[in-house]
Structure 1
């Protein structure tokens, strides 16, 4: 039956049951606005339901003409569905490409070396995916690099039953360490889980996901704010200290291993968030420590405390107790005098957080935070020691202050996973090594300060 006859049959059968299907005229559905196309699809579905209900009411109602009418409705619905799917795919692709271009990270020679994710981006896995160019993949897809889940990926690495998409991904090959790189489509979930687990990311640090094959590269950073000066006609322009400096970024290896029972990995329906959280927290703990305190001596990265140019505020020969907000105000002044952005966060140990929470005035009332510090995030990490020796004291700590949007974590090659075949075989468990390569850099070191010599409160 040709299309005209099918439409006549459709109209006749709908007329018999009293269903009035609107006539779209000569306008093809591909030229309709999206709202009209959705409305048309809804009307077609209602017509289909009406015909099917009529056919089920009595056996004699199920005629060849009714079947032809239902086929005609289904064909038009399918056309609209395909058009909608193609447009959505194009929108996701264009959106992902646009977002990834806007977030492109370049070295000082102008070569693109990766993608920069702002701290705001990291709060949303969908935004991360768009910036990384993974936003045009469906969440449940097993195409491309796709895996249905992180759990499926680990099952595949452990040679367990998994999805076809995972098998295709793992068949591509291994890296030089014998591990498999976590697919890009799964990386946003891990990065998103890193934020609440890391004091630095909670404070506002950015993340740059690198795609350069180079072992290291250089980026431009601010060394000092240039000084502008008035000049007479034909007069010389006043000199100021160099405004920019080159920072070498050298991602270094960070890894941990863990084990899990084969039964739990294969059968547990809620292992996905536990896996994601475990990976994120394991990395986050050491990222916080090394990014703040790292010596810079291979294989450790150089942390904020040891970056040249950061303000350091000592507290006498033996340190002092923290009794009020004065030292935070002192640090803010130093940072502002360097023409750096005002601090937005402070990172400290849980002991110092407790000390601050117990600040009290002379009457014993809680001490209000000064207006200048009201918007600050006060974050904690267990990785900051409280037993630093200073003079005769052996209980001092440090507090890191600054605008952490000027501090960036560089992640090379994402995260790779290696199977430990024999280590836990006797206990029926599966072992994995998770590995990544990281470095950090301060875009303007003078935007940061560290309060040193913070003593423990005297016992009452």
Structure 2
């Protein structure tokens, strides 16, 4: 991964900690990109605007399952999957247990804010919030908007994906640590300074059976 930030010379001269602000912003942007590739690398269609061909991107969890263990990719209905009132958490449980059927134990669920909001707002017929099933409540749930909301047939802009897995089995190898160079001459005639950063690494699922994905589940509007 590479990125470039260009700022005015005056800003760098006048800010007391401008270099640290830029470094933190670059690190956070690269970390978010690494999360996206680790989940979706190898996916070029079917998840909104995601287009991460392999190569040059590593193959992430979903693409690995598609290629080697497609039975662990659930859902994918033409118009997405809506939650059913009487069995609201069925799809979440199916995803969790798909991992367990492979003799693995998920230690985290990943969904986006719209999916989290959809389940947080689940009520019974009397308007009381639905309690999480024990198997869902017992697994940490993490929100990442690197998981997109997209259109699936008639489910417009609210289809999304749910990941369950043993995330200790997702390997991220670092070949070249984050390096940052200051370009003081390239943009000098414009009164600017460039900051360029590079990172080199790879992603792989050590045991694909440790992961499952439910595709096209309904999130909140």
TM-score w.r.t. the length of structure 1 is: 0.41
Task: Give the structure 2 partner of residue 383 of structure 1.
Answer: 146
Count of paired positions = 203
Task: Give the structure 1 partner of residue 75 of structure 2.
Answer: 314
Q: How many angstroms does 1:371 deviate by?
A: 1.6
- Richer in strand (by share): 2
| Contact residue 170 and residue 204 of structure 2 kept, 8 A | yes
1:339 lines up with 2:103 in the alignment: yes
1:303 lines up with 2:60 in the alignment: yes
User: How far apart in 1 are the matches of 2:17 and 2:193?
Assistant: 18
Q: How many angstroms does 1:428 deviate by?
A: 2.2
Q: How many angstroms does 1:319 deviate by?
A: 1.5
Which of 18, 25, 29 is 1:282 aligned to? 29
CA offset digits 1:373-427 (Å, max 9, x no partner) = 22323222222222143x4545422111111111121121112223445554344
Task: Give the structure 1 partner of residue 92 of structure 2.
Answer: 328
Q: Give structure 2 stretches of 5+ with no counterpart.
A: 43-52
Q: How many angstroms does 1:316 deviate by?
A: 3.4
Which of 104, 108, 129 is 1:366 aligned to? 129
User: How far apart in 2 are the matches of 1:403 and 1:456?
Assistant: 23
Q: With CA pairs under 8 Å and 6+ residues apart, which has the higher RCO, 1 or 2?
A: 2
User: How far apart in 2 are the matches of 1:356 and 1:406?
Assistant: 27
Secondary structure, counterpart of 1:334 in structure 2: helix
User: How far apart in 1 are the matches of 2:161 and 2:54?
Assistant: 21
| Contact residue 322 and residue 355 of structure 1 kept, 8 A | no
- Richer in helix (by share): 1
TM-score w.r.t. the length of structure 2 is: 0.80
Distance 1:262 1:288, change over 3 A: same
| Contact residue 420 and residue 430 of structure 1 kept, 8 A | yes
Q: Give structure 1 stretches of 5+ with no counterpart.
A: 1-253
Compare CA radii of gyration and give the structure with the larger one: 1
